[in-house]
Amino acid sequence: MICRTATVLLILAASALPLWAPQAREAPRPKQESLAIVVNQSNPINDLAFSELRAVFLGERRHWPNGRRITLVMMEPGQPERDAMLREVCKMGEPDLRRRLLQGLLTGEILVSPKTLATPVGVRKFVFNVPGAIGYLRPADVDGSVKVLRIDGHLPGDAEYQLWIPERAAP
Amino acid sequence: MKVPVFLFVDSMRRRFPSFRKLVLFLVIAIGMNPGLLRAQANSEKSPDPQTLQALLDRIDRLEARVRQLEAARAESPVATSPEPQRPAAPPAVVSPEPAQANPTPEHEAEPSEHAEAERMDLSKTLLRIRGFGDVTLHGDNQKGDTTSFSLGQLNLFVTSDISDKFKFLSEIVFEGGPDNLYGQPEGTRNLFTVDVERYLVQYSHNDYFNLSAGRYHTAIGYYNTAYHHSTWLQTTTGRPLLFEFEDRGGILPIHNVGVEAFGRIPSGRLGLHYVAEIGNGRSSRTPLEEEPVQNELDENNHKAVNFAIFARPSKIPGLQAGFSIYRDLLTPVAQPAVGETILAAHAVYSLTNFEWLNEALVIRHAPQGLGHIYQTPGFYSQISRRFGSYRPYFRYQYENASPHEPIFPDIALRAGPSAGVRFDASESVALKLQYDFIGLRNQPATQGLTLQLGFTF
């Protein structure tokens, strides 16, 4: 009887131990900046719901309201902007995204696979040149040649904006 | 630093047409300067001809670059981004830090996919090919079967952007025979044949209206239009019994030749979609045809129609639920015509790490003049969960046809579980091990073990 009671007490004590343990020191979070969603200046869209943005980047939306075909522009795998997009919007890793895109092409739901470009300059110029294009850029890489979309009514930099990315390391 | 040097060279070249000679002269003059010569002597560093040649080569390259840029600017005055307008971003977007000079070269801009794509661009390669395949080792306790390695379907998935609105899509499948048409083998064993499983021209007007013409997978349920002929995409080693292909003993009209319209229905967060199809339907069972899909000739003037509707609520990513109704008239030789109705419903929850597929349907065959309707119900439920590269799964399936069923009397009862594990050896290669148990009416149950290597390329 005593042994059983002692065992129960031991288990209870062990389960309470984590409460007393000193909190693990959190690693300092890197400074964040917002990730802007950019489209061609001729695109009539100014605001996208976050769920719509997800649908666009997963290939579930194929056309803009003006009938223009959506052309996705992604940066190359491994780029922090692409990682942020996969993490925050697509909610999946690189292999899962590729599988999903391939399945979308197979089912015909996705018309064309995303255009992959190496640099923010390339993304900006592509979006500038292709009326149906949509891509993502750091604020510092945005200029007047492309239009920045509001997401759920918020612009990059707003506190409620949902897309964030660690700041670019100083050269 | 590239820009100032470049601009300097450019301006000098404009001022002095024989810029190269001027540079030579300067180099010689500097070289002959006594002070410099003394300094050089002191430092024991003499200007060797290789250095001079390197400088000249560099000037040549810079001049060539200037000519190239001038030519590019003359050809496309609006094709490049207006770089000087950089600070014009919205105030909320611009970082307080100065814009970082981007070290990337200018040739990154790719204006090739310009919107004016309604004409055929002969300079572009339109065709894209992806492939799927599998190699399988299978053994079971069925009488007459042997444990064998077998080559699965080699599927070449071909797409082509004909224009901005039109697209071509096809699946060309090479597979080993013989075909199994409702239990009767057709063709020769170990011989590969080619099937064009899908062959579609698709017109995309907008998200609400798309039109396809050709040979397509009938939108009955979920499975048939989710995985098509790719084994690699499927979690399991094969399709559920209900959705087996016609030439593998399946009971559904998996393929159809005709026209289909599909798209979204304005429904907000409910995410409704529709599919409407009209086609030749399948050929009648009797007499048995070599090809159950009526690719070029319908056996009657009655067309098969199918209508499906499903929802993908945006609040619950991964959920899809819907139903479909298919109607056709089969006209077997020397038998009364048979009205065919297929009612199907599905509820699927598919995330990257978790999958739960549920489908149920009933096939109703009503021979005209007999006053009796034969109903064949069937369902399957499949669940899987991913743990790293491993994905264990379980499926239970059931289909039950009457022994007097006028179209497929050989199907009878088939029901049982399957369990297995999928291991993703790489992003494009999956190894699957599956055990199947299928209970049959008035026959011993079959048990089988399958090891499959599925891949995409």
Taking contacts as CB-CB distances below 8 angstroms, the residues of chain A near B104 are 118-122
Asked whether the beta carbons of residue A143 and residue B159 sit closer than 8 angstroms, the reply is: no
pLDDT of residue A11: 56
pLDDT band at B185 (very low <50, low <70, confident <90, very high): low
pLDDT band at B298 (very low <50, low <70, confident <90, very high): confident
* pLDDT over threshold 50, residue B65: yes
Pairwise CA distance, residues B198 & B168, whole Å = 10
Place of tokens 């309201």: A65
Which among A96, A90, A100 has a CA at the least distance from the CA of B388?
A96
Q: Considering only residues 36 to 75 of chain B, which have any Cβ-Cβ distance to chain A shorter than 8 Å?
A: none
Taking contacts as CB-CB distances below 8 angstroms, the residues of chain B near A99 are 233, 427
What CATH fold (topology level) applies to the domain A32-166? Answer: D-Maltodextrin-Binding Protein; domain 2 (3.40.190)
Contacts of A35 (CB under 8 A, 6+ apart): A81, A84, A85, A88, A136, A137, A138, A156, A163, A164, A165
CA distances from A159 to A151, B228, B443 (A): 12, 44, 68
* Domain locations in chain A as residue ranges: 32-166
pLDDT band at B74 (very low <50, low <70, confident <90, very high): low
How high is the mean pLDDT of chain A? 84
Higher pLDDT, A158 or A14: A158
Q: Considering only residues 227 to 246 of chain B, which have any Cβ-Cβ distance to chain A shorter than 8 Å?
A: 227-228, 230, 233
Mean pLDDT, residues A31-54: 92
pLDDT in tens, A88-129: 999 899 999 999 999 999 988 888 889 999 999 999 999 999
pLDDT band at B186 (very low <50, low <70, confident <90, very high): low
pLDDT band at B73 (very low <50, low <70, confident <90, very high): low
pLDDT in tens, B398-418: 999 998 888 887 888 999 999
pTM of the model: 0.73
How high is the mean pLDDT of chain B? 80
pLDDT of residue A3: 53
pLDDT of residue B91: 36
Q: How many CA atoms lie within 13 A of B161 on its CB side?
A: 20
Identify whether the C-beta of residue B196 lies closer than 8 Å to the C-beta of residue B215.
yes
CA distances from A100 to B156, B170, B420, B434 (A): 18, 19, 22, 24
Nearest to A129 among B111, B164, B169 (CB): B111
ipTM for the predicted complex:
0.76
pLDDT of residue B99: 34
Pairwise CA distance, residues B404 & B242, whole Å = 19
* pLDDT over threshold 70, residue B300: yes
Q: Which tokens in the block code for residue B163?
A: 């224009």
pLDDT of residue B20: 56
Q: Considering only residues 77 to 106 of chain A, which have any Cβ-Cβ distance to chain B shorter than 8 Å?
A: 91-93, 95-96, 98-99, 102-103, 105-106
Full set of structural domains in chain B with CATH: 2-69 (no CATH), 127-456 (2.40.160.10)
Pairwise CA distance, residues B57 & B210, whole Å = 58
pLDDT band at A6 (very low <50, low <70, confident <90, very high): low
Mean pLDDT, residues A69-91: 92
Q: How many CA atoms lie within 13 A of A128 on its CB side?
A: 24
Mean pLDDT, residues A149-167: 90
